[in-house]
Structure 1
């Protein structure tokens, strides 16, 4: 027999040769080969080896599972050594002389088999260890079942953790027998301190609207209950609210053994719901206030519209009533001035001239008031047609020329040859230009200058700028002059001039009605530049004359 480290083994026979061990003859005196075959060949896999690792015996089951090569060898030949993991166990048993139990695995194709192995020493009468025996019980089904059970348990725990914050169990008396570890995160107490307590001792069940306790009633009747709020004070003194759900448990004989259930922390959700309800109430209150204010605004706006309509109607009626006798006054003054019924003195001729000038001025103011009233009531007609800008400038120039000559003003910078066609209402556009040129002439000192510049913007608009060398307008007053009646009371243009301050207001409104605008650039002592922006005729627009 060679050393175990060389990996050789000997088989056990009735006529074993070349062995120096005293164990073999001693065992052969007790048992025979037939005894081993009868007792062990049909048993679970097993082996028997000397303390030095020399295999004395290995049954067919062991050979098939752990050493298939042994099946090809005859009984007299040297057999392969034990697998490495078995050798490690054998050495420990040889050293400790104690029984060792271990679960070992074996790769069987694509599958893995598991064996519960028991390795124990064999002693002779003198308490000398003469052999080590190992038996293997196939535990694959048990191991797989236990592994499956562990997976199912983990799966159950994962689902439970995902569905609830902590789980619990009670006995038939309603006292807690199990609480999951996550209860520590929920209430700050370890499970050990909660075991033995009633659920009702953990906190206060929130009663139903009728005052009943849903959970306690269900527990008394051994029926399920779901989502019953339980208020628990944690270790920090904060109140947390949990939804408690439970189902009764009965044994195979139908005897009630307790409850199992889950608990969900709904504190944050309830706080969010309370905040949402509070926000909803605040929002509804704000909406009610806004609705009330809107109603008030609608009433106020309606009154304002009615007031404006009444004002415009009044102005229109008054203007009409004033214009009729005023036309008669102007007509009679013209007849007197023509001396139709006989000559008049120079003094009377002067009076007649004053009557004519004042009457015409008053008639102009009345027309402006009527136009303002028509615009605000959206009754002023606007007819957009293709119109020559040069013709409009020339007509406006003629209307202001007499007054300009009287003041010795230089009008040489008025451009009348632009070749530009506008998409405007010609009557209203001329009215704007006359207003702007008239103001420039009116407020520019004697021997000053008045001019018109024209620029094309983005091939869509024409900027027509009427400029003068008059006194200018302070920046803080530049928007005020476009408000009705400002000139007569607050505007800088009121100094030493007549009028009621409707010209610029009317001009701006007319420009906007034609899709344009009027802006001003001015500073004191440097003059003013009023720019009216009006639309050009589009290339594909139908031409109107």
Structure 2
């Protein structure tokens, strides 16, 4: 009896140790899960604020925004608002609250804006600042305002860009999909609630409850137990949102954390007590002769339970039945060892193949709901695996699929057929579009009953992007080729017109003179009239020769071959000034720099077209050509002091007018550079090419 107790007590101790260890592992797992939830939520908010700051920074650097002219708002704002409706409430004002540039039906006043938390602090900031929770003066909803300074050319703050964020909508976007029973609260630096995953409208703007106040200032890296406002004991973790000075509190119910461990603990205790009672009962019925074999079997079982699978039962003497049990036990361990080795090899082979052939692996139950995800599903779709589990594929929004598409896909699943390369476009929480291609095959149990689907998925975002870029470039090349043919035809027509207008009259006059010279009598050839006609013929020949040379020089100036871009531009500017009467200034500090022949000719054509356009349309008095041939990027700029024009209207009319502008832009792009056009009515025009 004592021997039996001595053997069973260590076994029970080991069992209790494992049960207690399982309880601690459950707490550690829950702590890691709640910490991951807090940091994931904080990361999502940090990413959102970083994206908004980048957008506000680019808007603040726009020249028309920096001008802070309420009568000349930057049109890019309305275009941007059309593309991104969350920026509809964006307001640009100077520090006095005037020159409001926004597209709201009702303008916000200086007094209303100054009453928003964070406004006065934002005036003295050099970067984006985030205000606290407040009720929007126009919308009447809880908001938090992003402020970004607008600076002048000297770097001084002259205005503010304000962008209200609807806190209820922000909470729905970032806290929409949480584990059951989870609670996430976002606080500002003063401990005021900004976002809450439950009953957000009733809690936003209120201070954090006293029982949770110490969590907002906690520096612990792990998790802390606390009672939330609803009276539920939860396990909380804290994560900071550095960019806004916010804190994210995430918690899960303690009862749910320990439920499975407690059940296992209770079952283990009952099992241990049952085993103990059974062993004591059997001890009275068997004799001391079988104690040692049973001890050997018990010890071997304990070792196997501890992971020592190489253990085998060794019996010196025992009843026949125990010998049979020992042999079967050892045989079972041998078979188990072989099966585990084959399973490990199979799993490793499967993981290797899955890793090489796809980005993630998935499984669905018989109702087509996801039950498992392995791999880089977050990187591939923008949605973590937790966002898929428990849902069907069509419950998650897809940008490229219609209800009819989903109906055809469901019909294929209901027919229990395989599917391959089913492409889905999804929008992740970070706002980025991601393409994924999934393939699947049905699963049946041993009885032939349908159990679900399993398959793999591949991130095809980059191939899709490259295909779209290839298509865009193909269309662009096609358009450029068509324009090039049009430009060549225009050059031919102009050459034909110039050749006809400048040489045909002279050639006709030459023919008349030559006919009269050949028909003149010897007496007429000695007269002054005859001499004058010969002199007139010589003058016509010289004028025709000069016209042909000028036309040839305009088509391909010989100066460019020997003198380079600066020499040919300077020569053409002098001829252009004599022909038009305009003052043309050419500036170049390093005129000796030579470029590739094709590049020099392309840049000269751009200058030539720009000067011609100014002479035709600008009503300018002075034109300036600036060449920076030694800089990086290389710059060619042509500016005039003419009447200017509306650039946006000119670009809209590109299919009916502005062929010269289109030719210059496409010539710059052919040369591998960029083309910039700046013009304001009444303030001249500037064309800049950078290569």
Q: TM-score, normalised by structure 1?
A: 0.36
Indicate the structure with greater helix content: 2
Structure (1/2) with the larger strand percentage:
1
TM-score, scaled to structure 2: 0.29
Structure with larger Rg: 1
